[in-house]
Chain A
Amino acid sequence: MRSGSLIFGVLLSALVVIAAGVSFLWVPFDITQLSIPNKLQPPNEIHWLGTDHFGRDILSMIMIGARTSLAVALLAVGIGVFIGVPLGLIAATRKNSVIDEVIMRTNDLIFAFPSLVIAILITALFGPGAMNAIIAIGIFNIPVFARVSRGAALSLWQKEFILAARVSGKSDLRISAEHIFPNIANLLIVQGTIQFSLGILAEAGLSYVGLGTQPPIPSWGRMLADAQTMVSFAPHLAIIPGTAIIITVLGLNLLGDGLRDFLDPRVRKSRE
């Protein structure tokens, strides 16, 4: 039953990744070509998922949009993990010290800003674009990962196997890498998939208000934004990118849950 969710998660995620991968080589129609006579077609045998108000093929746009969404979310989670986790682990080794306070209070400060505000700030400074969306979402991810890893690490530092490692003369940083990190990895995977899905939603949100990916590069968020005015007579324009987001987020969450169990030797054993 447990491995069922893993398989389902892998399948859904693979679907999205393959769609994004294939789009580099081939898409059904060229989306830079506008074809007004074919506009707003419902799904049919030529355009499997229909066309938008410029007559562009929606399947092709979804495939290329997957590329954008995955890249933005992946990089944003990457920023969060690579900066946030070490910060959290360092803060945990020096609990209640000045370093801990500085790291965690800075995190609180970033947490206090909504990501949208950061995105607007960055866009105001550097202009809109996918890269700025990545940075904005990534910065917002840092305190999330720092807090999760600090909290989990603190309780682990009380464990006797950490004392045993200290008796073996290992430094705090080495213990963090060898003992603490593998034991919080399951939490980070779950948090990672949650942040990944949130990243996809945030990118959609930023693109929706025009701060993310810029035209003509398609993005699921902007497809939703464009569909807004036409939803009453061409509902597929909103339903299709919405479904794509749901499939990706669902797939990633299931994948994360399954991975967490799969990577734990205790659970793995009991399943065999």
Chain B
Amino acid sequence: MSILTVKNLQLKIGAESILESISFRLDQGRILAMTGESGSGKSMTALSIIQLQPKNAKLEGEIFFNDQEITKKNEFELCKIRGAKIGMIFQEPMTALNPVKTVGDQIRETIILHTTKNKRSAEKETLKILERVGLSPATEFKKRYPHELSGGQRQRVVIGIAIALKPAIIIADEPTTALDVTTQAQILALLKKLVTEDNIAMVLITHDLAVVADMADEIAVMQNGVIVEIDETPNLFQNMKHPYTRSLFAASKHLVDLPVTKVESDALLTIKNVTCRYRLARTKIFSKSDYFTAVSNVSFDIKNGERVGLVGESGCGKSTLTRAILGLEPIYEGEINVDNQNILKATSSTRKNIQVVFQDPYGSFNPRHKVSTLIKEPFFLIKDPLEVKNIEDKIEKVLEDVGLSATDKNKYIHEFSGGQRQRIAIARALIIKPKLVIFDEAVSALDVTVRAQILDLIAKLAAEYGLSYLFISHDLSVIRSITDRCLVMKDGKIIEEGTTKKVLEQPQNAYTKTLIEAAPKLPTFQTEL
């Protein structure tokens, strides 16, 4: 008997069908991965299993936990199952924890609430759990508040709470998406270890096929609320039956066809011994405030026509460096020159050579303006009236260049999907024909198939517009496919530099090596596409 059996699950919100005929079973000690792109219904399936679907949703079908049908149970009975029998791990560990309680208290409370243990034995249990999830010494960590922990440590606490009551099932919804690659590898290893040790059945929800391939015993691929393919992991990868699985796999392994460009010898961007630092909050009223050095003594050049990548994990200083290059950040020491002009003193004729595309397709646009107003904003830098002529034609041209239609200029930004918005962001960056574009994690928020399209578009447009770019990313596969040269950044310093191929294939620095090893890899099955 399987621990979890889902039979013909349907979910409707109003007239819209969200999930259709979802059926699967899960045995103890096994990991079932649900994968698919955003909106495919994978999270909704998970929520339905613990009966936390939205209030206005209509659920049909059967869900068996052991032998009990749980769709018919009332809220009181469900509360006993949730947490105690079925644990949950969420994507964002900061919001899943209570910020005003120590992590030890939070684990202990869970134990006291659901079991008959007294305070002292719950305390003992808490320490044991903290050790198990790798937070040792536990006596030290139990006194910490969530904000005193790193993202990975917080996720360990969340996992600790989930396993505290020895549940039979754990549902993990994108447990590592918010984490850095090296942390992600550790958290995945921890989850795998716990599943084996405690004989837990786990439903792992993730959009990342590479994570799935490493972890899961069985994979369900979802699209538009339907499981299009479900099979044992090796089988699924060896003979992908459904075209969507194949396209998902192809997009994850997508390699951009980088056009050959001519690199000129003169430097477009020069960064000389740049240091940026922030003043930290004073600990006492009259004490001197300390400084945090976000970027320390960084130097590199980008020549005309070069495509450079910058890799680093969160907090390594890459965002500060981006802002400094754009002239938005005070520089403590050193200087940044664009076209041989100091960026902090640059006139608009120099500044117009550098533009930027940001990560968040939702926060990058003023929601109150029409697309035409949004993408013509950089024209503010152009003082020559001849160039500002025919501005409407230019807007239409650039929209078509990025694969949208000219009539889109009259729409508002909320009418577009994430991928389309990122196209509009690229249009805004390209409309005044800059020489250098900085892509700040420009594809990180996108689904794999959309990501592949945007990367292709960037490669194509860079050749057409004669662009150089600096592509900042935490994702090695993106850097590999879209850059010629790359830099690795850690703790505000550039620790390795070279051609992308060389850095990624023969890394010299120990940190680069761990970074490359930690990145989840797709199995290299030969598939006929």
Within 8 A of B (CB), among A153-205: 159-161, 163-170, 179, 182-183
A-binding segment of B169-177, B234-242, B373-381, B479-487:
B373-381
Binary CB contact string for chain A from 134 to 164 against chain B (1 if under 8 A, 0 otherwise): 0000000000000000000000000111011
When the two chains form their complex, are residues B364 and A161 in contact, meaning their CB atoms are under 8 A apart? yes
Complex Cα gap A264–B412 (Å):
11
Chain B residues within an 8 Å CB radius of A167: 326-328, 351, 354-356, 378
- Return B56 CB to nearest CB of chain A, in Å: 16
A265 at interface, CB cutoff 8 A = yes
B124 at interface, CB cutoff 8 A = no
Complex Cα gap A159–B366 (Å):
9
Complex Cα gap A164–B326 (Å):
10
- Return B498 CB to nearest CB of chain A, in Å: 29
| Residue among A167, A170, A183 with most chain B CB within 10 A | A167
When the two chains form their complex, are residues A168 and B377 in contact, meaning their CB atoms are under 8 A apart? yes
Residue of A with least CB distance to B360: A160
Complex Cα gap A160–B363 (Å):
6
When the two chains form their complex, are residues B412 and A159 in contact, meaning their CB atoms are under 8 A apart? no
When the two chains form their complex, are residues A179 and B366 in contact, meaning their CB atoms are under 8 A apart? yes
Within 8 A of A (CB), among B336-382: 348, 351-352, 354-356, 358-360, 363-369, 374, 377-381
Within 8 A of A (CB), among B400-439: 412, 414-415, 428
Q: A160-B358, A167-B355, A167-B356 are in contact. Are A265 and B378 (CB under 8 A)?
A: no
Q: A265: which of B351, B354, B367 is its contact (CB, 8 Å)?
A: B367
Could you tell me the dominant secondary structure of chain A's interface residues? helix
Q: A161-B365, A164-B428 are in contact. Are A265 and B414 (CB under 8 A)?
A: yes
Complex Cα gap A160–B412 (Å):
17
Interface size range of chain B in the complex: 20 to 34
| Residue among A160, A264, A266, A269 with most chain B CB within 10 A | A160
When the two chains form their complex, are residues B381 and A183 in contact, meaning their CB atoms are under 8 A apart? no
When the two chains form their complex, are residues A266 and B412 in contact, meaning their CB atoms are under 8 A apart? yes
Q: A160-B363, A179-B366, A182-B366 are in contact. Are A165 and B412 (CB under 8 A)?
A: no
Residue of B with least CB distance to A185: B368
Residue of A with least CB distance to B415: A269
When the two chains form their complex, are residues B367 and A163 in contact, meaning their CB atoms are under 8 A apart? no
Residue of B with least CB distance to A169: B381
Q: A160-B360, A164-B428, A265-B414 are in contact. Are A169 and B380 (CB under 8 A)?
A: yes
Chain A residues within an 8 Å CB radius of B380: 168-170
Residue of A with least CB distance to B381: A169
- Return A165 CB to nearest CB of chain B, in Å: 6
Residue of B with least CB distance to A186: B368
Chain B residues within an 8 Å CB radius of A165: 377
Chain A residues within an 8 Å CB radius of B369: 182
Chain A residues within an 8 Å CB radius of B412: 265-266, 269
Complex Cα gap A182–B348 (Å):
26
Q: B367: which of A168, A169, A266 is its contact (CB, 8 Å)?
A: A266
Chain B residues within an 8 Å CB radius of A168: 377-381
When the two chains form their complex, are residues A265 and B368 in contact, meaning their CB atoms are under 8 A apart? yes
When the two chains form their complex, are residues B378 and A266 in contact, meaning their CB atoms are under 8 A apart? no
Complex Cα gap A159–B327 (Å):
17
Within 8 A of B (CB), among A105-150: none
Chain A residues within an 8 Å CB radius of B351: 167, 169
Complex Cα gap A182–B369 (Å):
9
When the two chains form their complex, are residues B377 and A159 in contact, meaning their CB atoms are under 8 A apart? no
When the two chains form their complex, are residues A161 and B363 in contact, meaning their CB atoms are under 8 A apart? yes
When the two chains form their complex, are residues B366 and A163 in contact, meaning their CB atoms are under 8 A apart? no
Q: A163-B356, A164-B377, A169-B348 are in contact. Are A183 and B414 (CB under 8 A)?
A: no
Complex Cα gap A111–B363 (Å):
34
Complex Cα gap A92–B290 (Å):
24
Chain A residues within an 8 Å CB radius of B323: 163
Residue of B with least CB distance to A166: B328
Complex Cα gap A269–B410 (Å):
14
- Return B355 CB to nearest CB of chain A, in Å: 6
Complex Cα gap A238–B354 (Å):
68
Complex Cα gap A161–B357 (Å):
10
When the two chains form their complex, are residues A269 and B328 in contact, meaning their CB atoms are under 8 A apart? no
When the two chains form their complex, are residues B328 and A183 in contact, meaning their CB atoms are under 8 A apart? no
Residue of B with least CB distance to A182: B368
- Return A238 CB to nearest CB of chain B, in Å: 45
Complex Cα gap A264–B413 (Å):
12
- Return A176 CB to nearest CB of chain B, in Å: 13
Complex Cα gap A165–B355 (Å):
10
When the two chains form their complex, are residues A164 and B414 in contact, meaning their CB atoms are under 8 A apart? no
When the two chains form their complex, are residues B367 and A164 in contact, meaning their CB atoms are under 8 A apart? no
Complex Cα gap A167–B354 (Å):
8
| Residue among B354, B358, B360, B377 with most chain A CB within 10 A | B377
Chain B residues within an 8 Å CB radius of A265: 367-368, 412, 414
- Return A182 CB to nearest CB of chain B, in Å: 4
Complex Cα gap A188–B323 (Å):
31
- Return A26 CB to nearest CB of chain B, in Å: 43
Chain A residues within an 8 Å CB radius of B366: 161, 179, 182-183
- Return B25 CB to nearest CB of chain A, in Å: 40
Complex Cα gap A160–B424 (Å):
14
Within 8 A of B (CB), among A222-272: 264-266, 269
Chain A residues within an 8 Å CB radius of B352: 169
Complex Cα gap A161–B360 (Å):
10
Chain B residues within an 8 Å CB radius of A264: 368
Q: B414: which of A160, A161, A182, A266 is its contact (CB, 8 Å)?
A: A266
When the two chains form their complex, are residues A269 and B364 in contact, meaning their CB atoms are under 8 A apart? no
Residue of A with least CB distance to B326: A167
Q: A182-B366, A265-B368, A266-B412 are in contact. Are A163 and B381 (CB under 8 A)?
A: no
Q: A169-B348, A170-B380, A265-B414 are in contact. Are A164 and B328 (CB under 8 A)?
A: no
When the two chains form their complex, are residues A164 and B415 in contact, meaning their CB atoms are under 8 A apart? no
Complex Cα gap A269–B368 (Å):
12
Residue of A with least CB distance to B440: A160
Complex Cα gap A121–B365 (Å):
47
Chain B residues within an 8 Å CB radius of A269: 412, 414-415
- Return B432 CB to nearest CB of chain A, in Å: 9
Q: A265-B368, A266-B367, A269-B414 are in contact. Are A163 and B328 (CB under 8 A)?
A: yes
- Return A54 CB to nearest CB of chain B, in Å: 53
Chain A: residues with CB nearer than 8 A to chain B? Answer: 159-161, 163-170, 179, 182-183, 264-266, 269
Known: A160-B358, A169-B351, A269-B415. 11 other contacts (CB 8 A): A160-B360, A163-B323, A164-B377, A164-B428, A165-B377, A166-B328, A167-B326, A167-B355, A170-B377, A182-B368, A265-B414
A-B contact pairs, 19 of them (CB 8 A): A160-B358, A160-B359, A161-B363, A161-B365, A161-B366, A164-B358, A166-B326, A167-B326, A167-B328, A167-B354, A167-B378, A169-B348, A169-B381, A179-B366, A182-B369, A183-B367, A266-B367, A266-B412, A269-B415
Name the 8 nearest CB pairs between A and B, nearest first.
A160-B358, A182-B368, A160-B364, A265-B412, A160-B363, A168-B378, A169-B381, A168-B380
